[in-house]
Chains A and B, each alone.
Chain A
């Protein structure tokens, strides 16, 4: 084993892992924000798909990646508004409406792709940007500081989300609304308003997750491009215990094992491919089984808030 895992392979695994983790980070941190306010959004994958399509379509036709990224974010916000309207205003069962949103995103992105683009095309996506000095650090510099901008942004999102959730009034309000909405309401916090914002911000991040796929990682759009990544992101929120750092660790663990198994296959290590492909999921389940029981989620999760009913 030791002669196979050279430093070049190790760098390769970590570089892959950081790329693979990017969409999960955006989507899972977004989902965490939504869930902390008390709204489970199972439509993440559908939002990612529609945003990936929107971002790709705009980038393909304007040649402007930033405009594409912006479109991805805006499509995310629009989908968030839809989700918030159904689950907050109309107080629908969140799980069901999320699945509905997923299918809506899946269907609409496929339909639009077929009518407006037609066949698989590629764009030249966001290129790696070397950060001077830091990228010259031996071995790790190359891994951490020679990535594309959406990848950096995904990792910067972790401390940013932590700061907002832990150190700002808005973060406090978000938690209050997700834990004891009645108490927050009696203190003059508009539960619905906070939840609308949380769902929309969360969905915007899901939109960026989709756009990072179609404009920075895969650089093309195909029907069902995400292949269920949004659902893994939802699982990562539980895995990470609704904390940005936990989500980061979960996303990195999952992606590193995935990158590891790809490298082992490339290098011809004799493990059956089925086992290799299973590894990331298996390990995630094992870690989940041993850690998650200690963490408790937002108390009002999945519960619509009705004034005076509590």
Chain B
């Protein structure tokens, strides 16, 4: 009996070990010591949304700086549980990574706790604006309402049913500001147009998100948007219907449904990352808050070239982008 229990214990432990950390290195060994950046993310690097936006930016910066010999990257993904993420952040810091990023607004308290223990390490986290007054912490966020506004203008101009659906996760952070901006964009074209909003209460419940999108479609909506990694379900539902348009955010979502994605607001964190690296070379380890905006190029509107966007609609969107950049249009977050 005892041997049996032992065998079981070993097997269970093996199972747990097989599924525990999913840290992956994409760095190389070289004689010159490369800069080392580690990032902890709540979802996967391939989520077509929040985490992917950061991972793409890191890879782009790596390529720009000269590949793996110049910049070593390491990530931990699917760190949805904050205690796991905190352990990973501390682990990376003690392994001597130069910049440690907690890519999720839920990681704030962990960063606040860990950063003072590693004064030579740069920490960054977002989306938020709070650096906790610590000299080695950066905060970063995205003015998601700006691209939301542009998407709203596009949606209001393209809808035929005059019914637009928003599939949101939880009413917080950039999901909320994006959707608030979207609603303002719609209202700028037609103040009377109805925008139906649903919240699933989860960032990861794809099945419920799909059903939410199907509900909007059944109610007559022909233009949908939404935020978080679970919106792939909404995009799938729109794609299946065939004539329902999708407006993306966080990452370029056109690849999933090339025929119905009109445009996506893309978060490009690379300028922020480069600024952090530059500051570090000059001895500055943190203390600033960065905000991605259309004006500073951190936010981009990626029009899907496959979708035949009428010229006048595209002009309206470009006018909105220009207006936000020069301050003549103010989008409330």
Contact = CB atoms under 8 A, between A and B. Distances in A.
B104 interface: no
A15 B8 contact: no
A266 B19 contact: no
Given A16-B211, A101-B15, A266 B216 contact: yes
B200 interface: yes
B224 to A, nearest CB: 11
B209 to A, nearest CB: 9
Nearest to A261: B198
A41 interface: no
B198 A225 contact: no
Contacts of A106: 19
B256 A122 contact: yes
Interface in B23-49: 43-44, 46-48
Contact of A217 (B4, B12, B207): B207
A101 B11 CA distance: 10
Contacts of A226: 207
Contacts of B16: 100, 103
A262 B198 contact: yes
Interface string A266-294: 11100001101110000000000000000
B7 interface: yes
Interface stretch (A58-66, A69-77, A91-99, A170-178): A91-99
Given A222-B206, A262-B211, A97 B12 contact: yes
B211 A19 contact: yes
Contacts, number: 157
Interface string B257-290: 1000000000000000000000000000000000
Contacts of A78: none
A274 to B, nearest CB: 7
A220 interface: yes
A125 to B, nearest CB: 8
A259 interface: yes
B239 interface: yes
Contacts of B12: 86, 92, 96-97, 100
A265 B179 CA distance: 15
Q: How large is the interface on A (under 10, 10 to 19, 20 to 34, 35 or more residues)?
A: 35 or more
B110 interface: no
Contact of B207 (A96, A110, A114, A218): A218
Given A12-B218, A222-B229, A223-B43, A103 B204 contact: no
Given A119-B46, A120-B256, A222 B232 contact: yes
A272 B36 CA distance: 44
A123 B207 CA distance: 15
Given A121-B256, A259-B215, A268-B194, A227 B205 contact: yes
A277 B44 contact: no
B233 interface: yes
A266 B194 CA distance: 10
Nearest to A43: B15
B189 interface: no
Contacts of A9: 219
Contacts of B43: 223
B78 interface: yes
Among B8, B15, B171, B205, which residue has the most Cβ atoms of chain A within 10 A?
Answer: B15
A258 interface: yes
B296 interface: no
B15 A90 contact: no
Contacts of B196: 265-268
A12 B219 contact: yes
Interface of A: 9, 12, 15-16, 19-20, 23, 86, 90-93, 96-97, 100-101, 103-104, 106-108, 110-111, 114, 118-122, 124-125, 213, 217-220, 222-227, 229, 258-259, 262-263, 265-268, 273-274, 276-278
17 contacts: A12-B219, A97-B12, A104-B15, A104-B19, A108-B18, A121-B256, A122-B235, A219-B240, A226-B207, A262-B215, A266-B221, A273-B168, A273-B171, A273-B197, A274-B171, A274-B201, A276-B199
